[in-house]
Amino acid sequence: MRKTATEKGGTYTVDLTKIDGDGAFQCPKCGAIISPEDETEEVYAIVETKVKKDELTELTLKCNQCGSKIRLTGFLSPSEEARHK
Ligand SMILES: [Zn+2]
């Protein structure tokens, strides 16, 4: 399993369980701050979402600064998140 790895075509994978704080992270390529709270789509756009049993399991974003695709994995359910803190 790769964590933050470069793939062909400029796709990066970010594991949210490895990120501290409110879930914001830097674009692996250009360092733009990508925050899940930011819904303006100025910094990033959502390309694809994967949902399993009504829970978000994977999200693919596109960084609008550099055009990289970033796949987010490691989403926690609310109960797991509470235990995580
Ligand atoms: Zn970027």
The mean of the pLDDT values for the chain is: 84
Q: What is the pLDDT of residue 27?
A: 95
- 2 compared with 21, residue with greater pLDDT: 21
Within 13 A of 53's CA, how many CA atoms are on the CB side? 2
Separation between Cα atoms, residue 17 and residue 45, nearest integer Å: 21
Nearest of 74, 43, 46 to residue 60 by alpha carbon: 46
Q: Which pLDDT value is given to residue 5?
A: 52
Q: How many whole angstroms separate alpha carbon 56 and alpha carbon 43? A: 21
Which residue's entry shows tokens 């925050």?
35
CA of residue 27 to ligand 1 center, whole Å: 5
Long-range contacts of 33-41 (CB under 8 A, 24+ apart): 34/61, 34/63, 34/70
Cα–ligand 1 centroid distance for 43 (angstroms): 8
Compute the distance from residue 70 Cα to the ligand 1 centre, in Å. Answer: 9
Q: If you measure from the C-alpha of residue 30 to the centroid of ligand 1, how many angstroms do you get, rounded to a whole number? A: 4
Residues within 5 Å of ion ligand 1, judged at the Cβ atom: 27, 29-30, 32, 63, 65-66, 68
